[in-house]
Structure 1
Amino acid sequence: MTCFLLGAGAAYAAGTHAGGHDGAMAAGQPGKKSEVTRVIKVTMTETEDGAMVFSPNQFNIKKGETIRFDIVNKGETDHEFVLDDHKGMEEHKALMEKFPEMEHADPNSIRLEPGAKGEIIWKFSESGKFQFACLIPGHMEAGMHGPVLVN
């Protein structure tokens, strides 16, 4: 079941990254639209000083909440939004360094070209500290990451 929608202008490139996140993972599992308890609007962009940022830059979520992340890329380059735990983020980051143009088919991630919009619906079934980031090479290092605190 695909739990995200790509905007009409979503970026697709050669190669895919699918598998491993179809069901439950440490940060939870794909949510159902009918069970959304809260909507969080997320903006991805660059700043004049060269930083790349998410707004908001952290999320506080209650265990059991199903969140719809409404995501928009207001920047001038492609960006992605990935939810995962530290281990999963490091694995995905290493893969992105090898294949930076890969297309995402995982329900916990979305890649958007400038001006595009999309969504991820996610159920946070476990407590803990998780992460979100843009794993396009150089973007995380430029500031595109933050904590997801689930209590």
Structure 2
Amino acid sequence: MYRKPLNGLLFSFLLGSVPALALANAGHAHDHQTSHGHEHASPTRHAAVDRTIQVSMDDRMRFEPAYIEVKAGETVRFRVRNDGQLPHEMVIGTLDELQAHAEQMRDMSGMLHDEPNAVALDAGQQGDLLWHFSQPATLDFACLIAGHLEAGMKGSIEVR
């Protein structure tokens, strides 16, 4: 899998308001934690997982499920699987942040994320994202590989 690090400014912009914790990515354990806060979701290193939600991605440029409901106070493990033949990723943020980042990704062909709010997977791989949702909100997720978001590869998380 080919990866380039994100520009530090872009990384700060994206994670300044949307932190998460990627526990596993592409079959290798990663232990990332950001010090940035967010009023709706935060990274957690040792919290007990309340439930696991299976999410699949494929070459139809879709997530299954594309709409997810969670409860405020819940810690969720997103177990993400790439059922396609192309690389895909699941990046969590607000729709505005994801669209701005997708615009920047168009110039970075071949880049996959290795960030706390994302899991990037080659064909057939599986990885996890661990999130604690502290209060009601609406968040979004998308694949930011060039052209994938534009093709409809996105979804939403409703925190109730």
Q: TM-score with structure 2 length normalisation?
A: 0.77
Choose which of 55, 61, 66 in structure 2 pairs with 1:57: 66
Query: Does the CA contact (< 8 Å) of 1:36 and 1:67 recur in 2?
Result: yes
Secondary structure, aligned partner of 1:72: strand
- The root-mean-square deviation of aligned C-alpha atoms, in Å, is 1.8
Which residue in 2 is equivalent to 1:16? Answer: 5
Choose which of 42, 53, 71 in structure 1 pairs with 2:55: 42
Secondary structure, aligned partner of 2:102: helix
Give the Cα separation in 1 of the matches to 2:46 and 2:126. 17
Q: Which letter does structure 1 place at the counterpart of 2:122?
A: E
Which residue in 2 is equivalent to 1:3? Answer: none
Choose which of 74, 82, 93 in structure 2 pairs with 1:73: 82
Consecutive unaligned residues in structure 1, runs of 5 or more: 1-10
By relative contact order (CA 8 Å, sep 6+), the higher-ranking structure is: 1
CA distances 1:21-65 after superposition (whole Å, capped 9, x unpaired)? 22323551223354211100111112xxxx311111111011111
Distance 1:141 1:26, change over 3 A: farther
Distance 1:72 1:44, change over 3 A: same
Query: Does the CA contact (< 8 Å) of 2:106 and 2:147 recur in 1?
Result: no
Secondary structure, aligned partner of 1:35: coil
Map residues 129-144 of structure 1 onto 2, 5 A cutoff: 129-144=138-153
Deviation of 1:102 (Å): 2.3
Q: Which letter does structure 2 place at the counterpart of 1:41?
A: Q
Give the Cα separation in 1 of the matches to 2:41 and 2:85. 31
Identity between Structure 1 and Structure 2 (%): 34
Q: Which letter does structure 2 place at the counterpart of 1:16?
A: P
Deviation of 1:127 (Å): 1.6
Choose which of 110, 119, 126 in structure 2 pairs with 1:101: 110
Q: Which letter does structure 1 place at the counterpart of 2:2?
A: Y
Give the Cα separation in 1 of the matches to 2:73 and 2:105. 30
Give the Cα separation in 2 of the matches to 1:143 and 1:96. 16
Q: Which letter does structure 1 place at the counterpart of 2:5?
A: T
Give the Cα separation in 1 of the matches to 2:42 and 2:110. 25
CA distances 1:56-82 after superposition (whole Å, capped 9, x unpaired)? 111101111111001110101000001
